[in-house]
Structure 1
Amino acid sequence: MKKSPLITTTSLIGALLMAAASPAFAQQPAAAQAQSLSYGTDALQKLDFWRAPGQVPAPLVVFVHGGGWKRGDKDGATGPYKVAHYTGRGYAFASVNYRLVPDATVEQQAQDIADALAALLRQSDRLGIARGRVVLMGHSAGAHLVALVGTDPRYLRKAGLSYADIRGVIPIDGAAYDVPGQMQDAGRMMGATYRQTFGTDAARQRALSPTFQTAAPNAPEFLLLHVQRVDGVRQAEELEAALRKAGTHVEREGFPGRGLPGHMQINRELGNPTYAATGIVDRWLARVLG
């Protein structure tokens, strides 16, 4: 694997936070009509749901947006292809909002993801969802959150669920699977952001690190996707190794792309039939969801 020069966390995430709210992030496919659902009382505890066409019940893909834990939104965060592509392949699809730092903690964000899934599954008959055939997918900060829910069973358990309710997890180009390691690499600006997000207590940082939460049980399957950011590659490799050591089935796939452009491209282009990651994810979903 060819390595690119290190892109600093400061420049990458700082630019990401601005880009998350930009028009480029606001493209939304028009192939299906979304239903807006609430899963809590906060204004951000909402999700959009697209029913699968044709025969139901259908497997479900749940997408979690990025934005550095303190920005981002479900509206358009999926990129221009995912909704049409995955519903076109017979999956139901949901895009989830969650409460944001500093008004919420990372623990509350992970709980929001579990609670959103529980709300969908409580309505599985009405929504045409096949219970037990669910994949969590997230980009950037969302990759960290779905990986955390997929490795620490407390969040699903509190929502009344277990790993029997999901088949797999797809983290897309995350770089905070090992929070203390990522904080150590951070520059001055992002050091302050990470301290705001994860605090200064080492035990809490480890508790919020999927790499340190991989002792069984975990979600049954993981597919780790990344571009060629040095910190992202390293952290994906370490999470892969930790999952394998725990006996969890994991695959890891790397794709071209460096820095912020590559980080944005993998999320924007996933679902585009001409983009390399799309076929890999399609085959993995077909195997895992049946």
Structure 2
Amino acid sequence: MHSHLWILLLILLPNVLQAGPLRERLQARQTVPEWTVEHDLAYGPAPEQRYDVYRAANMQDAPIIMLVHGGGWAHGDKAMDAVVENKVARWVPRELILVSVNYRLLPQARPAQQARDIAMALAEVQRQAPRWGGDPGKVVLMGHSAGAHLVALLSSDPGIRQDLALQPWLGSVTLDSAAFDVEAIMLKRHPRLYDQAFGNDPTGWRAASPLHRLQPGLHPLLAVCSSKREDACPQALAFQRKAQALGARVEIMPQDLSHRQLNQQLGTAGAYTEAVERFLGSLDVQLAERLEKFNE
């Protein structure tokens, strides 16, 4: 249990450097002229239902990566450096648009409601994409930790999005979710943060469990998991088995990195980022071409 508490602390404590210092660091690293960010655009009426857009000027039909932060379903923010800094620095110069999303947190909203927020954000991103020079049909969802659970839940359960007229998106990437099977977590000893998120009703556990909500038609999904943790990769493998039985494409990518490193280091040069980019490139030819920009 203590290891899970340390994971949550490691997610949150280094991220106090927000908009000002983060923007300065990104501006110092940028290689694209007229790079810009739009902050706190609304996708719903609640103050938390906001997103930021990072893009270069004069983009055309650009693929979009939509980032969903973690924080134990109760904390976190779209502007955390581990969420955006390295990803923006790598992918905006390659002519991708990055969108980072906030959502309502516990106790205001339970995880299923949070996944609904992400669906609402996706619908708004698809509506606004042409204004930014983006392609609404070329969105990739990417979440870390609790955000990875929300991405997996939205991807697995069409009921969450059924009345939003979403266009299909290219695929999803989950960064170290250990909550594909919520019921299995709750039936054994577990950290208190899961009680806060999922309560004590077994019906609710299954309703918030991507594995139990999984239906045919899942978009391609890459599950990155830390081999340093006991539960993340086994949970991902169980989800993969069920998804493949339904004819879906789910790839598992174990990495010898910590929970926080899997988020923070994505976008830095190296084998890990390149492996994730191979999956992204497999989803769309134009996306693959843009990811190859600057690569030797």
**Same fold by TM-score greater than 0.5:** yes
**AA aligned opposite 1:96:** V
Partner of 1:38: 42
> Match for residue 66 of structure 2?
62
Q: Counterpart amino acid of 1:17?
A: L
Question: Quick check: 1:80–1:269 contact (8 Å CA) kept in 2?
Answer: no
Are 2:97 and 1:97 equivalent residues in the alignment?
no
Query: Normalising to structure 2: TM-score of the pair?
Result: 0.86
Measured after TM superposition, the shift of residue 231 of structure 1 is: 0.3
Q: Is the 8 A contact 1:19 1:25 kept in 2?
A: no
Q: How many residues align?
A: 270
Alignment of 1:169-248 (within 5 A): 169-187=172-190, 190-191=191-192, 193-219=193-219, 221-228=220-227, 229-248=229-248
Corresponding residue SS for 2:269: coil
1:271 is aligned to 267
Cα deviation code 1:23-51 (max 9, x no counterpart) = 35647333342112111121111111112
Instruction: State the shift of 1:186 in Å.
Output: 3.5
Deviations 1:28-85 (A, max 9, x none): 3333421121111211111111125554121110010000000011112415310121
SS in 2 for 1:98: coil
CA contact (8 A) 1:178 1:209 kept: yes
RMSD after superposition: 1.7
Matched residue, 1:133: 138
Larger RCO (CA within 8 A; separation ≥ 6): 1
Match of residue 288 from structure 1? 283
Matched with 1:81 is: 86
- Alpha-carbon distance in structure 2 between the residues aligned to 1:95 and 1:47: 6
Measure the CA separation in 1 of the matches of 2:186 and 2:144: 19
Residues 26 and 245 of structure 1: is their aligned pair in 2 closer, same or farther, counting only changes over 3 Å? farther
Q: Contact conserved, 1:79 with 1:269, CA < 8 A, in 2?
A: no
Amino acid in structure 1 at the alignment position of 2:116:
Q
Counterpart in 1 of 2:294? none
Distance 2:67 2:272 in 1: 16
Kept in 1, the 8 Å contact 2:36–2:56? The answer is no
Following the alignment from structure 1 to structure 2, what is the Cα–Cα distance between the partners of residues 45 and 66? 15
Percent of paired sites with the same residue: 37
Structure 2: unaligned runs, 5 residues or longer: 286-296
Unmatched 5+ stretches in structure 1: 1-9
Decide whether aligned partners of structure 1 residues 55 and 39 sit closer, same or farther in structure 2, where only a CA change above 3 A counts: closer
One of 144, 149, 152 as aligned partner of 2:157 = 152
Paired position in structure 2 for 1:48: 52
Q: Give the TM-score normalised by the residue count of structure 1.
A: 0.87
Q: Give the Å deviation of 1:279.
A: 0.2
